[in-house]
Amino acid sequence: MSKLVLVCSIALLAVSAAWGQGKINSEWNCDAKAGDEHAIPVGDQPGHAYWIGQGRCTAGKGMVEGVQEQEGTWTQFNDMVGASNPNHGVFLVTMQNGDKVYYNYHGTAMMKDGKFQTGTNQWTIVGGTGKFAGAKGEGSCKGKENADSSATWDCMGTYSVGK
């Protein structure tokens, strides 16, 4: 039995080494306003609109497979109604070496007087380029508004990168 456990442990270590697995602990500092945004009133109730926007973030901290995260571009759709706004989007991260990592996410933004206050999301890594081609992963983020109306997002999760 102990030989079987030893063989399984060695096999698991070999798979882990071949697939570059790790944890993500990132901080993203996002611009106060989307660079491009559009809202279309739905008309079924006052203040209900579909919103789409795109903006930029810079990495405060975070590495994937030993490469520093550098900047990110988000493109997001919100169902703007009341204080709790469901959303989904894509986050494209440019790494320090120029490679990209692609994330899909969905979450909820809490709003007050039309301004972001806090948010949460769940994300999955769906691929990338160069060193991150075939990357997979999952995790979550928590965001909050800063005094200058920018937002800070703290994200944690796991990933694997095929070699």
Q: What is the pLDDT of residues 142-154, one digit of tens each?
A: 999 999 999 999 9
CA distance 59 to 81: 30
Query: What confidence tier does 13 reach under pLDDT thresholds 50, 70, 90?
Result: very low
Pair 57, 21: CB distance under 8 Å: no
HSE-CB of 71 using CA atoms within 13 angstroms = 5
Cα radius of gyration rounded to whole Å, the chain: 19
Query: CA dist 125 to 96, 100, 133, Å?
Result: 18, 11, 11
Our CA angle for 143, 148, 153, nearest 5°, is 15
The pLDDT tens digits for 52-111 are: 999 999 999 999 999 999 999 999 999 998 899 999 999 999 999 999 999 999 999 999
Question: Between 162 and 62, whose confidence is greater?
Answer: 62
Q: What is the pLDDT of residue 19?
A: 46
pLDDT at 1 over 60: no
Chain mean pLDDT for the chain:
88
Compute the distance between CA of residue 161 and CA of residue 128 in angstroms, rounded to an integer: 10
Q: Give the architecture (CATH level 2) of 21-160.
A: Beta Barrel (2.40)
Q: What is the structure's pLDDT at 34?
A: 83
**CB contact at 8 A, 137 and 109:** no
Rounded Cα gap, residues 20 and 1, in angstroms = 29
Residue 7, pLDDT above cutoff 60: no
Domain range summary for the chain, segments of one domain joined by +: 21-160
